[in-house]
Amino acid sequence: MRALWLTLMLSIVLAANAFGQMSERERLRWVRSAPRIDSIVIEGNSFYSDSEVKDRLYAKEWNWWRSLKGDRRIEVQRETFSRDTLEIKYMYLTEGFLGVQVQHRFEMLPDSNALVRIDVAEGRRFRYDTTWITGDTPAGLNGRFSKVSSRLEPGEPVNPVDIRDIEFELKTYLANRGYPYAEIDHDIDTTQVHELARVIFTARADSLVRFGDVDIVGTQRFPEYVARRELKIDSGKVYRREDILESQRRLFESGYFSTLQLNRAEDSPNRLRPDFTLRVRERKTRYVSTELGAVGQSNLRDLAWLVSAGVGKRNIFGSRRGELSVSYFFSLGEDSRVLQNNYRLRFTEPWFLGLRMPLTLGFEWEPTLRVPDNEYKRRSYSVSAETQRRFGRQTRVAAGIEYESLKLSDFPEDISIPGVDETTSGRRSLFVQFRQDSRDNLFVPSRGAYIDILADYFGGFLGGDDDFYRVEASWSTYQRVWPGWIGAVRFKVGFSEPFGDSDSLLTDDRFLLGGANSVRSFRENRLGPLDENGNPIGSRYIVVFNQEFRWKTVQIFNEIPLIGSFFKSFPLWQSVFVDVGNGFLELDHVRLDRLAVAYGTGIQILSPAGPIRLDYARRVDTEQFDFATRWHFTILYAF
């Protein structure tokens, strides 16, 4: 009887094991099927509430709104388990819970949906006590070490992420001052009875290192100096990691190389004076370029099209560049026409006066063409010289001089040149431009700012037929206002003034406003002074303010056959905006009650070429402007 009982128990155990194995296989298949998450249960937490933990999770409980948006987080994904476990640990570790433990599992519900269960063992919470720095470092660097480590304020929760950041910062600091072999370690002393923890950094600087020689491999089409002059690595110079990274960036920016590798030479005999090897793959010396597509930021139409072609050579007289190109801008639809065309010849000296400051000499010819939105014809040619200099990665200053021969003909009586049927002028001008760009993305920036200031000076001491100056400045800033939403703001002003023998300005020398990229709800260039036929004559003063909020919207097309896969690759975004601005002929006309105000919403498809944008704008009815609505279709955001 006893033997029978033992046999029965053994059979039950074996059956249970077999069932467990089978259930495990079924569970794996179930997880791979991406079941819907019905609920998330958090247990063991006291410092953070359930809602605070859930807000940080990648996994989200199913609801109809998330389902409509096509949010894949409402389903169990392969990355859900590890991602959420790390996220919860990160939450607690950064608040001083150094021994936190997290158990995370999925449970199958009767309807085959998923329940996510998370068990948290918080453990003790530690706060900073004192910070010590020990080891062997040069005396001149101790002040920096103390300043960095002082960020760990006594009484604040211990944050291992901040400690790691400080460790990395100190090591980088040493590597940029000749100590690339330096080692920085830390220890968090949690052995004390109370909940205060000492942090001890141990630094070992090793020996001072200087750069050795650089061997360049792969230069055949271009002279070797094309690569060597971009290097900030000089033999005998104190080793700096920043110089290696900056050299790589400059080599890519030069435009001569498609790929490159800058590494320490494997057979370098002296660890304190290491040699380096630069391996490059050169680009072709001759090239042909073509372009066909839409231009979203045209001042001529909401959406202009571009066709261009060019030929160029990169190794004229060694490393100089030459390019010949032709471009046509045109519009399609009811008003199909060529808006602008030009032929351009350019010659560039990349290192002007031995400085990394390229000088470009240019010749441009624009054949006779009727000016869009006006009745007269325009023809011009110009010669110019332009140079620019970068200051860091974000700032660029450019300056240039130009001579332009401009001929206007076949125009009626105009406010700028009354009673004249034809005019030809020779213009001489200087320009200076300042740009600073800290945006994190050129197409859809979510942080940073963009500043652009352009000043033109015509005539005066330069001579020429026209005397005036013009200044245009804009400032845009971007930031995340709440999760998933980006706030974008732009201020833009401009003014132009004649002086000397000039008492008026041509339309081409004034500012044109209105349209998809300035103040929406107006036709392109139709905001500001107009002639009796409703054509723009341009403004001498402009003021523009734009506020826009952008977010990833409901992905309503994702599940539609045939086109669903396309929209998954190029998601839909949405925006709401307010545009304010106007253009004026006289400074005393600039008043708040004369500014146009428009608001609206838009939808964008994020394509590889940038956002394809459709905006609907409504103009506010005021004493100056009647109510109106307008659709704008173009490419790229307004700013």
Whether 461 has a pLDDT exceeding 50, the answer reads: yes
Beta bridge partners of 551: 485, 574
CA distances in angstroms from 160 to 96, 98, 103, 446, listed in the order given: 8, 8, 21, 28
Q: What's the pLDDT band for 373 if we cut at 50, 70, 90?
A: low
**How far is residue 62 CA from its own chain's centroid?**
33
What is the DSSP code (8-state) at residue 375? Answer: S
How high is the pLDDT of residue 143?
78
High-pLDDT (> 90) share of the chain, %: 63
Longest dimension (CA), the chain: 126
Which letter, b or e, does each residue of 139-164 get, where b requires 16 or more Cβ atoms within 10 Å of its Cβ?
eebeeebeebbeebeeeebbbeebbe
d(Cα 469, Cα 510) in Å, to the nearest integer?
Answer: 10
Identity of the residue numbered 446? S
**What is the DSSP annotation of 155-185?**
TSBP-HHHHHHHHHHHHHHHHTTT-TT-EEE
Whether 16 has a pLDDT exceeding 60, the answer reads: no
**pLDDT tens by residue, 292-331:** 877 654 555 667 788 999 999 999 999 999 999 999 888 7
Whether 495 has a pLDDT exceeding 80, the answer reads: yes
Whether 435 has a pLDDT exceeding 90, the answer reads: yes
Q: Let me know how long the chain is.
A: 639
Cα dihedral across residues 133, 137, 140, 145: positive or negative: negative
Question: What tokens does 489 get?
Answer: 């703001």
Whether 62 has a pLDDT exceeding 60, the answer reads: yes
How high is the pLDDT of residue 565?
75
Q: Is 455 within 8 Å of 431 (Cβ atoms)? A: yes
CA distances in angstroms from 396 to 136, 165, 352, 454, listed in the order given: 41, 31, 16, 12
Among candidate residues 346, 341, 529, 550, the one with its CA nearest the CA of residue 443: 550
**pLDDT tens by residue, 190-203:** 888 788 999 999 98
How high is the pLDDT of residue 300?
54
β-sheet with 127-136: strand ranges across = 127-136, 196-204, 183-189
Question: What tokens does 256 get?
Answer: 């001569």
What pTM value is reported for the model? 0.78
**pLDDT tens by residue, 503-556:** 788 887 899 999 999 999 999 889 999 888 788 889 999 999 999 999 998 887
d(Cα 67, Cα 625) in Å, to the nearest integer?
Answer: 43
Question: What tokens does 472 get?
Answer: 């245009």
Bridging pattern class, strands 196-204 and 127-136:
parallel
d(Cα 247, Cα 584) in Å, to the nearest integer?
Answer: 48
The predicted model gives 93-117 an average pLDDT of 90
Identity of the residue numbered 60? K
How high is the pLDDT of residue 302?
64
Whether 561 has a pLDDT exceeding 80, the answer reads: no
Worst-scoring range by mean pLDDT, 103-112, 293-302, 630-639?
A: 293-302
Beta bridge partners of 344: 325, 364
Q: Is 133 within 8 Å of 146 (Cβ atoms)? A: yes
Helix then strand then coil, in percent of the chain rounded to 5, is 20, 45, 35
Q: What's the pLDDT band for 151 if we cut at 50, 70, 90?
A: confident
**Residue 348, phi then psi, degrees to nearest 5:** -125, 130
The predicted model gives 224-234 an average pLDDT of 94
Average pLDDT, the chain: 87
Grouping H, G, I as helix, E, B as strand and the rest as coil, residue 410 is coil
How high is the pLDDT of residue 631?
94
